[in-house]
Chain A
């Protein structure tokens, strides 16, 4: 599991890869929050394109970052969610937060 950060003007993109579970979530949180808190961007993007497994720890990770961005007045976007992860995302009701990038359109 790894995260690659891309820092652009007013936007931080976190490219997540591998497996997201409770074991790895604390490290991910730290890696993402550090630059976000140092200079809060207008947009934080979590890119799940490289994620091969996720349990509800991943939901906790998204919800935590959602709150963080709300506090700083920015926005969160979750993008490139592989089909295999959509079931878990759906149970969470995350789609109602308006952070998911057109999940319905990209086929199920």
Chain B
């Protein structure tokens, strides 16, 4: 199915861009007239995924983060967050709640939060090549407008 609207962003893995990324996505999907809760859920999931790129994928260096968002008919929103960082050797393990390699102050709940807030979360990763996280969520849209 073809998307009816699309945007792409590329930014460096500085932690200041966590706020930029979630705010940009939230502005992009505003045309769907999401509820405050839907908006908060999507912002939170995007923030988790982008933080993973910054904390884990590019732990030792700065790198580029690629974000795209697509709106499909019926209010389906698909957001991809991709990096060319270190990759995840064991995706299943990484997605376990409370598992973290990020040190004591990281809760290890990034993927658990994404999964609880989104309809679908897909993770594709290749060690040494990078990771793509795909987030999917249908916006109920009060008017159910196809933007």
Contact = CB atoms under 8 A, between A and B. Distances in A.
Interface of A: 19, 21-23, 25-26, 29, 53-57, 59-61, 63-64, 67, 84, 87-88, 91-92
A22 B117 CA distance: 18
B109 A21 contact: no
Contacts of A53: 22, 40, 43-44, 47
A29 to B, nearest CB: 7
Contacts, number: 67
A54 B40 CA distance: 9
B55 A92 contact: no
A22 B13 CA distance: 12
B86 interface: no
Interface of B: 15-16, 18-19, 22, 36-37, 40-41, 43-44, 47-48, 51, 54-55, 97, 104-107, 109-110, 112-113, 116-117
A29 B105 contact: yes
A23 B15 contact: yes
A25 B105 CA distance: 9
Interface of B is mostly: helix
A60 B107 contact: yes
Contacts of B55: 22
A87 B51 contact: no
B19 A59 contact: no
Given A53-B44, A84-B36, A88-B113, A22 B107 contact: no
Given A19-B19, A87-B116, A60 B44 contact: no
B41 A87 contact: yes
